[in-house]
Amino acid sequence: MQHGKYRFIVGFLTAPLALYAIFVIWPFVQSIFYSFTNWSGLSPEFSMVGIDNYTRMVQDDVFWKSLWHSVLFAVLVPLVTIGLALFLAFMVNVGGRKRRGGPAVTGVRGSSTYKIVYFFPQVLSIVIVALLFQYIYNPKSGAINSALDAVGLGSVQPLWLGDPDLALWCVMAVVVWATVGFFVVLFSAGMASIPAELYEAALLDGAGRFTTFFKVTVPLLWDTVQSGWVYMGILALGAESFAVVQIMTVGPGGPDYSTTVMVLYVYQKAFRDGQAAYATTIGVALLVVTLAFAALVMRLGRRERLEY
């Protein structure tokens, strides 16, 4: 009987594992292999060059800029997004005042409407969001500078995406705006599973909202927060940062490489410059950064699991 069970499990997992190996593991292996060649991506012919691509990468100033920008994306965007989403979810689910005849713990008035409003950016493609904010940041006719002019601050007209000191922060703000709603809904679902008796007991003990948030909500949601942090970091290192930088910035990646991130640099080297081997080398570095980020978050966020 036991032998039959293991045969069933092996048979059930064979096809999914085979597909995963073909479409996920094998491309990683190919990328690592091509990083040791001079393949252009335009011809099937190539030759082995050893670690020349890695030596070039270490000496590439643009690569180091893109690495630094990607690290900023991976650290700051999840930090702001998760923190803001936790606050908004707490207010929507727990932060309301007690109403006469109602439960002791409730969300603010109109909480259902707020959830819809917060989640709305998720309905839009990140491409559409990037195009909308490209117009919003327009220094001549954009909504932000027009609003500054309307309130008498016409002399304060930043170039936004045209300013090397502001462009990266503007792009990161768009990623936060586009993704925070998803985590508000995610954390709201997690908070709904926390027994109301825990909040009521905290309130009876004299705990305020600040104490309740950090002593009850965050510890009981920590597994969800940790998973969300890793997920958001991977998004910030990959598709989200690529889309907004590619669409919104001059160059793209400018001005003066001030918004170039690793995933965009991979794309440019592979499809613009015809240097596929060097692009795969940067891709391997991006893989190492992503794995290191996930491992670091899981390690630093490890704590005893709470049961309730």
Q: pLDDT, tens digit, for every residue of 184-197?
A: 888 888 887 877 77
pLDDT for the residue numbered 24? 87
Which residues fall within 8 angstroms of residue 57, CB to CB, at 6 or more apart?
A: 63, 278, 281, 282, 285
Supply the DSSP symbol for 27.
Answer: H
Q: Are 183 and 81 in contact (CB under 8 A)?
A: yes
Of the chain, the end-to-end C-alpha distance in Å amounts to 37
Q: What is the mean pLDDT of each run of 10 residues along the chain (308 residues)?
A: 67 86 90 91 87 94 94 93 90 66 60 80 89 91 88 84 92 93 88 78 76 82 87 87 92 90 93 91 93 88 63
What CATH number does the domain located at 60-300 have?
1.10.3720.10
3-class DSSP state of 141: coil
Which amino acid is residue 58, in one-letter code?
Answer: V
pLDDT for the residue numbered 298? 85
3-class DSSP state of 37: strand
3-class DSSP state of 282: helix
State the Cα–Cα distance between residues 72 and 75, nearest whole angstrom.
5
State the Cα–Cα distance between residues 217 and 94, nearest whole angstrom.
9
